[in-house]
A and B are shown apart, each in its own frame.
Chain A
Amino acid sequence: MIRSARLAALVLLASLGLSACSSSGGGDGSAGGTVTVFAAASLKESFTELGERFEEDHPGTEVTFNFNGSDSLAAGIVGGAPADVFAAASSSTMARVTDEKLTAGDPVTFARNRLAVATAPGNPHGIDSLDDLAAPGLKVVLCDGTVPCGAAARKALAAAGVEVRPVSYEQDVKSALTKVRLDEADAAVVYRTDVRAAGDTVDGVDFPEAAQAVNDYPIARLENAPNAPAADAFVAFVTSPEGQKVLGKAGFLAP
């Protein structure tokens, strides 16, 4: 029973990952219209909810999302993809867009995320700290150093002085989490928000060193936004108290 539920979740996951590529149609620039938001994969749950609320508050405006790894999104924007808003999972990825002078004004940090260790439900290996990840025989997955969650995990592990020998450096945070949900890995260092979004399929373990590697989430309207007014309104909504409440519920820290 559990297995079939997991299978369904995974197939859904895979298909969502695929459809993300095709949902990048640009807005038409008319009043209201469509606002296209490129957002980091870790924002998926909270931004989807924010989008729905925004549409309720702004009848006639439609929000479409392109959720993907921040770096892929940044590469897309630099390459000329038609987007109105960019919300990244790290300042360094946002910097790739600001370096090209593609944002309208300076980006604003709207949320912060900290790391947590995801384990199987009930934490069968009794992981309490980063130290426990170094236990021999334990299968740990980390994000690859080229993506923000990997960079953050490295920083945190360095701060703890722990040397972990992972079995894999995953391409993004969701795949790292998937390995734990499928019980292929015993633990993964992911974001707290991902643990929360995964519900009771994983347990989360907080650790103090996470404070050394908190990710800033910057958001900005893009210089060439096809629908600038709606884009500004969306950015304002995300940073508004209502927006912050949704993000906080998902496990994000206030900026």
Chain B
Amino acid sequence: MTSTAQDTRRKARRPRAPGRGVPPALLAPALIGLAFLLVPLLALVVRAPWRDLPEQLTSPAVWDALRLSLVCATTATALSLVVGVPLAWLLARTDFPGRSLVRALVTLPLVLPPVVGGVALLLALGRNGIVGRWLDEWFGVTLPFTTAGVVLAETFVALPFLVISVEGTLRAADPRFEEAAATLGASRFTAFRRVTLPLIAPGVAAGAVLAWARALGEFGATITFAGNFPGRTQTMPLAVYLALQNDPAAAIALSLVLLAVSVAVLAGLRDRWTRAV
């Protein structure tokens, strides 16, 4: 993995052939796209109340929300990995009737407004939901208004990203390695665990990063399903949204914290894991 990363870097440094610049037809839209993404972020930084920032950031409420955000997003990512990687394998490697329908259903949360996702989660897992009522009756477990509820809401929106990403990697990976493992006596599960999984690890990591980022920014499903209570279900996006109601400066400060943490984590992970793809 390390040697691949080095190879990439070496390749990147190789001098370009003369007269092979970037065509303007590609460069111009690329720069417009980049600017479109960066200017709003830049505006946040420029308009940030830098003078009040130290005061905002020393508030324990901010750190509570940040800690909760990181814990929940990471747990949701772990949960997504546990169920999402097998689901992706099922979609990529097996053939069953209605598979394309199942794939479409898996991606549905991507197009569903998160608020609707939150309502759907309430109807399914709420105190009176079709599944939730049994959880309550048999185990005394209620999920709305709990940190576990936040994790579930985030998993609901993050899981499709992971599944799609891992399924793509699996489709690109040579299935004959699994066949080779089978001829050596490996069951399909052993082949998956000892051969396929290590081969697609970079893709899984990339999917996990994507899912984590999505979970970290989750707002609609979380506030609908898990409500908003500081220290228990109030993640950073919720804190930002509510601060925006009457204290935009505080909201910007909170957003900056979230941005800084995300950039630090994503940059670190991308370098370590996803470069080797």
A residues at B contact (CB < 8 Å): 3, 7, 10-11, 14, 17-18, 69, 71-72, 75, 92-93, 96, 139, 141, 144, 146-147, 166-171, 175, 179, 182-185
Contact = CB atoms under 8 A, between A and B. Distances in A.
A11 B119 contact: yes
A182 B126 contact: yes
B255 to A, nearest CB: 15
A146 B126 contact: no
A182 B121 CA distance: 11
Given A182-B122, A184-B126, A71 B246 contact: yes
A3 B144 CA distance: 18
Given A7-B123, A184-B122, 8 more contacts: A72-B245, A75-B248, A96-B246, A168-B229, A169-B227, A170-B228, A171-B228, A183-B127
Interface stretch (B69-77, B78-86, B236-244): B236-244
B127 A169 contact: no
Given A14-B119, A183-B128, A146 B245 contact: yes
Contacts of B224: 175
A184 B127 contact: yes
Contact of B227 (A14, A75, A168): A168
Contacts of A166: 229
B227 A167 contact: yes
Given A171-B228, A175-B224, A144 B123 contact: no
Nearest to B119: A10
A186 B140 CA distance: 17
B223 interface: yes
Contacts of B242: 144, 146-147, 169, 171
B145 interface: yes
A201 to B, nearest CB: 13
A179 B227 contact: yes
Given A11-B119, A146-B246, A182-B122, A171 B145 contact: no
A14 B228 contact: no
B156 to A, nearest CB: 15
Most chain B CB neighbours (cut-off 10 Å) among A3, A69, A139, A146:
A146
Contacts of B243: 146
Contacts of B246: 71, 92-93, 96, 146
B210 to A, nearest CB: 25
A105 to B, nearest CB: 24
A139 B145 contact: yes
Given A18-B113, A139-B145, A169 B229 contact: yes
B115 interface: yes
A146 B239 CA distance: 11
B115 A17 contact: yes
A175 B238 CA distance: 14
A184 B241 contact: no
Interface in B47-73: none
18 contacts: A7-B123, A18-B115, A96-B246, A141-B227, A144-B228, A146-B242, A146-B243, A166-B229, A168-B145, A169-B228, A171-B238, A171-B241, A175-B223, A183-B126, A183-B127, A183-B128, A184-B128, A184-B145
Nearest to B244: A75
A14 B121 CA distance: 14
A159 B233 CA distance: 28
Most chain B CB neighbours (cut-off 10 Å) among A17, A71, A171:
A171
A8 to B, nearest CB: 11
Contacts of A185: 145
B27 interface: no
A168 B233 contact: yes
B116 interface: yes
Nearest to B130: A3
Most chain B CB neighbours (cut-off 10 Å) among A3, A166, A167:
A167
A205 B246 CA distance: 29
Contact of B116 (A11, A147, A182): A11
Contacts of A75: 244, 248
A218 to B, nearest CB: 16
Most chain B CB neighbours (cut-off 10 Å) among A169, A179, A183, A185:
A169
A137 B181 CA distance: 56
B141 to A, nearest CB: 14
B244 A14 contact: no
Interface in B206-247: 223-224, 226-230, 233-234, 238, 241-247
